[in-house]
Chain A
């Protein structure tokens, strides 16, 4: 396997470099177009300040403790909300997925509750918690819970009958089958669920701060806006975008690490 993996890596390295270079060129091109359309006055710089100004502001923000406090606030509600959603979604998903009765009994309820946009709960959140972090958490948990739950239910229903019969024929008990068969089968689904939930949770964290005014990056965007600081608005938007990319990168890394055996990933490693 080592030789295959090595051979593969060697033969694909130029490709990876080219991809990286193309990606960077794309970003540079975008920044260049942005700079040009604002400098030449095609777009009024009052609405879209030049890229260079936004980047300079962003760089100075990185040295500002206030910015990092806001990042911390956003990421704290993101992390707590995501954690609650993942734990609750996993437990509920396993319970529902391992019981025919529960699965049928909850299906229509889930199909009704799931499409309710989390933002529709904003008035409720304000009513209950005002501008405290709990408001953000309510929205984040509601939105990301379904992502995890649905994936976990699908995962538990996807257990291979042959694998299950093998486990039964070797007299593995119910708990042992959950641990050695159902859980590993569900894991790829769970991780996909977490990855989706992580993105959704970030969107809802920013949304809550932006609209309700719970402290964090979203509130900073809206504060900059009301202060007429257009450059600041863009710099903060850039920050949220980068956090989104980072969240996704980390999620993919975790996926790769934990699911090295899975078909979707192992084909890239060996064979």
Chain B
């Protein structure tokens, strides 16, 4: 019933296979991620949820090529990720630290393009388009710290969009903004996703947010992390803060994921480590 975005049936865009990440320490190492697999087809909006300390950020940094993996394989467009890939952009939770306060909003958005060698008029136009897409047409000349938290995160999203990635990775991007702003930003992400057809990997600890946003929710176990559950969100494509959230299916999915998270808290990657990814349909 959910109209899948184009290309969903094709080969997965992003593949995570037997991912293991051990942080080396003096006493031999801390295992953050044990044995993780999942794949994301092109154009999908996937949410990743897990109890706090589930190694969500570790997983994202591995996928983003910012952290070397211990074993396993992460593939984007068929190529193993060993360094930050060109087709990927990351939006961090800490927008205040991720945006550079010494640069104007415009310069922040243009910087990745500048470093990629895009000509000045071209990156000007790309920045203007991206800022328009997030509803910040007039903020280009300001500094990030002159904007509210929600607007700053919009700038960070605009910077990612201007970079024209195939995959957009978002690490709890709305955890630090107030509820109203958060709802607006969630709707913005849905709009951007639909308009641009970009693949989005959205990490959150908020179950409601994951159900509201995603086409699919991957539930992670406690650290050392494995995939606890993989849930298809078969809600109507047109999401609305009021009607979607009061949809009976929303409530069912929400409580299902809630239960999984509760179970995940006690699952330290031991019981289901070898269990293949379960796809549940409602």
Give the interface of A toward B (CB within 8 A).
1, 160, 162-163, 165-166, 168-173, 176, 180-181, 184, 187, 261-263, 266, 270-271
Contact = CB atoms under 8 A, between A and B. Distances in A.
B203 to A, nearest CB: 14
B146 A166 contact: no
Contacts of B115: 170-173, 176, 180
B202 interface: no
Nearest to B112: A170
Nearest to A177: B115
A181 B111 CA distance: 11
A169 B66 contact: yes
Interface of B: 61, 64-66, 83-84, 86, 88-90, 92, 94, 97-98, 100-103, 111-112, 115-116, 142-143, 145-146, 163
A171 B116 contact: yes
B64 A169 contact: yes
Contacts of B64: 169
A187 B65 CA distance: 29
Nearest to A163: B97
Contacts of A168: 66, 84
Contacts of A160: 97
A119 to B, nearest CB: 38
15 contacts: A160-B97, A162-B92, A168-B66, A169-B64, A171-B83, A171-B115, A171-B116, A172-B112, A176-B115, A180-B103, A187-B102, A261-B102, A263-B145, A266-B143, A266-B145
A166 B152 CA distance: 15
A170 B163 contact: yes
A271 B146 contact: yes
A175 to B, nearest CB: 10
Contacts of B163: 170
Nearest to A270: B146
Nearest to B107: A180
Given A166-B92, A171-B84, A261-B145, 12 more contacts: A162-B92, A165-B92, A169-B89, A170-B84, A170-B89, A171-B115, A172-B111, A176-B115, A180-B103, A187-B102, A261-B143, A266-B145
Given A171-B115, A261-B145, A262-B101, A166 B90 contact: yes
Contacts of A262: 101-102
Contacts of A187: 102
Contacts of B112: 170-172
A212 B103 CA distance: 48
Given A261-B143, A261-B145, A270-B146, A163 B89 contact: no
A187 B100 CA distance: 13
A35 B217 CA distance: 83
Contacts of B102: 184, 187, 261-262
A181 B107 CA distance: 13
A184 B100 contact: yes
Contacts of B66: 165, 168-169
Contacts of A261: 101-102, 143, 145
A261 to B, nearest CB: 5
A1 B163 CA distance: 29
A178 to B, nearest CB: 12
Contact of A169 (B84, B97, B116): B84
Contacts of A165: 61, 66, 90, 92
B146 A1 contact: yes
When A and B form their complex, which 8 residue pairs have the shortest distance between CB atoms, in order from nearest? Answer: A170-B112, A162-B97, A184-B102, A169-B90, A166-B98, A261-B102, A169-B84, A172-B115
